[in-house]
Amino acid sequence: MKVVGKLWLETLGAYQYVLTFLFMGPFFSLLLLFLLFTSFWSVPVLYFVWFFLDWDTPNQGGRQFEWIKKFFMWKYARDYFPIKMVKTAELPPDRNYVVGAHPHGIMAFGTFINFCANVDGFFKKFPGIRASLAGQAILFYLPVSRDYFMANGLCSVSRWSLDYFLSKAQRGQAVVIIVGGAHESLYAIPGRHCLVLRNRKGFVRLALRHGASLVPMYSFGENDIFHFKFFDTNSWQHLCQLTFKKIMGFSPCIFWGRGLFSANSWGLLPLARPITTVVGHPIPVPQRLDPTKEEVDHYHTLYMEALEQLFEDHKESCGVPASTRLTFI
C-alpha cells in the first residue's frame, strides 16, 4: 500500500497536468483581457508587447528550462499511473531522428511525461540525444501557457520549426511528432488501438529531407486512462467535431475520469492505469532534398510495418489481449 501522503501527491501531480492542459490557456487569456480594464492595465500591455516580440521563438527551438522540466510534481505524475519507457534498441548520437509517437489519446500523457518532464524517461535511456516534442501551433497562440509549454521543452510542429531542429550542426537531434494529431483523439477508445496514420506522410518527407532515421514509438495504455464517448464516423456529432477541428485546430470530445476524492464518482482525474511507452528500432532513411512520391510511400510503408511489429511484439507484456490488432485509418 502506498503511503497516503505520497498517494495524494501523485494524484495532485496528474491533476495539475489535466488542469494545465485544459484551462491554463483560456484562463490567462481571460485574465489578461480583464486586467486591461483595471488599474493593472500595464501588465497585459507589457506582456502582449513581449508576446509579439517573441512570436517566432516556438519555431526557432523554443525556450526550455531544466528546472521546470525537473519540477518535483512531474515525478509524482509519472508514478500515479505509473508511466515507464521500454528501450528496444540504441539510438546512436551520430545521427538525427524523427520519432513518431502513437497514440495521441486525450492528452498524450505518456509522451509528455517521457519527453517534457526530465524524470528518468527518454533522456536517461538515450544519453547524447536531445529530443524535443512538437506540439500544435494553437498551443503557442495562448498567452502565458505558451511560455509554460515551451519551458517544458515543446516546440511548434510547423515545417519551419522542425527544419530548424534537424538542420543544427550538432548531431543527435530528435523531434518527437504525435503523428495522429488532434484528429486521433476522436478514436481514444479504451481497449481499442486505432491510429490516424495511413495518409499522414509529412513526417516521412521531413525525415527524407534531412536524412533522419524514423523511430516508431507506441504508448500502451494511453487510451485507457479516460472513459470516452465515441460518435460513429457517419454521425452528425462526428461531423461537428471535424468541422470544429478545421476551424480551431483541435478536436472537441466527450471524456471523463474519476473524481478527485472518490474513485466511484466522475471527474477530470485520469484513471490510474499503467502507460508503457515502447521505443522501437530506428529505420535508416537516406537524404533526399526533394523526395519523390514513390520514396515517401516506400518509407511510409516500412514505418507502418515496423510500428505494427512493435505493437505485436509488446502488446501481451503490456496487458493487451493477444487477439487485439492495431488499426490504421
| Extents of the domains making up the chain | 4-328
Q: Is the pLDDT at 20 greater than 70, yes or no?
A: yes
Q: Is the pLDDT at 11 greater than 80, yes or no?
A: yes
Report pLDDT for 26. 93
CA–CA gap between residue 219 and residue 227 (Å, rounded) = 17
Nearest by Cα to 69 from 117, 108, 111: 117
State the average pLDDT over residues 156-183: 93
Can you tell me which residue has the cell 516508431? 216
Question: What's the predicted TM-score (pTM) here?
Answer: 0.93
Burial class (CB in 10 A: 0-12, 13-18, 19+), 224: buried
pLDDT in tens, 57-67: 999 888 988 88
> How far is CA 38 from each of CA 34, 42, 143, 169, rounded to the nearest angstrom?
7, 9, 18, 48
Report pLDDT for 186. 93
Report pLDDT for 123. 83
CA–CA gap between residue 317 and residue 303 (Å, rounded) = 22
Task: Choose the most confident range, by mean pLDDT, from 4-13, 143-152, 160-169, 293-302.
Answer: 293-302
pLDDT band at residue 2, thresholds of 50, 70 and 90?
low
State the average pLDDT over residues 289-310: 97
